[in-house]
Structure 1
Amino acid sequence: MTPHRIALYWAPEESDALHGRASTWLGRDAVSGAALDQPGLPGLDIAEVTADPRSYGLHATLKPPFRLANGYAAARDATAALAARTASFDLPPLAVFDLDGFLALRETAPCPALHAFADACVEAVDDHRAPSTEAEIARRRPERLSAEQRENLTRWGYPYVFGEWRFHVTLSRRLSAEEKAVVMPAVTDYLGDLPGVTRRVSAISLFVQPAPGAPFTIAERLPLRG
């Protein structure tokens, strides 16, 4: 059965303690699909605060979710070919940041290899992306985008690629200043020292969404062999 959408993501390995800890914060394991008991959050409903990122699973976007033009196997093979020619590299230590009102893990030092990796993922499988519908484009509110973002949306189906791309592992919905004052120290304390280590980027995580509105899960991790 062809999934509704697929995406190319970075996600920590299952053996990485960050996978278990941050997945528990979100309330779902993207590997097994299992619901996880979340920690408490003073004065706020953590399930509501994390609902959006929970549906996508713990990840950083490389190639945003897209509907398939040529079936799953063809897109999977193109992703595997990219992985085969891409070398692994070190990801800088991560930390919790405020990213335009969302809380996310972001890199603490520049990493040109990371940006080149994301750029390659956007390009390598784009022939397998079905064209965006008018409704999909409208949901991106193109009237609010910059000229470069609108061009990206038209060409690549997503505004935030190439020069507009920023690595981020989303941990919350957009927060008010008052909510951020609660959630930021809570998630920073909950994750502890786990984000702040150097880890190897050694695979492309292929995520799938089986049906519209369904949560994304990891179908396969394709090792980098370049």
Structure 2
Amino acid sequence: MNELELKELWKTANEKLEESFIINRKNAEDITRIKVYNFLSSMKPIKIFALLVGILWVSIGATVLGRIYLNTFSEANKFFLFSATIQILLTAIALFVYIYQLIKIYQVNSDESILKTQGKLVQLRISTLWSTRILFLQLPVWTTFWWNETMLTDWNLFQWIITIVITITFTYVSMWLFFNIKYENRNKKWFQLIFSGKEWIPLMKSMELLEQVEDYKVK
């Protein structure tokens, strides 16, 4: 075998390796897209269930509160009324975020490019963090809705101290979580305790898979 034949053989082998590499990469991308689609599809039931329950809760709450504001506002317990109003409003805002998330999840398909899918996953991640922040802002009002006017006249100092401490604690926790629920804190234990269900884990697995594909491309 002369030098020319060796060069041709080497060139043919390289071309076959390159072709095999391209096919393997394409197969890896296709499999990854299917896995990502399946991961995101697993999020749909819990999202839909939470959305339906939330809509029911907000609808009932808004109806009850609306009647109180219109018919019995002067006699109503203002602590309960305003606390419940804040809770319903925050839940309603979170519901809009859930609707946005469901739209994004249903927009993802196994045929679109990795880059487009990554963009949608980032939007899902951001909106998930925001919906959780918003929901945690409700914590303080769960400590005030039962307050009433008799507290002002019948309670002693000790009862007031306990009540105020509880409310301040819940307020501090809610604000701390609002400002610290960030993606960069995802490896911290408290974060993983909050984000450990089907609304978060499939999303993270999907992002990891796409990152692996990108790393494979670079290599």
Q: TM-score, normalised to structure 1's length?
A: 0.24
Larger Rg: 2
* Structure that is richer in helix per residue: 2
Q: TM-score, normalised to structure 2's length?
A: 0.24
* Structure that is richer in strand per residue: 1
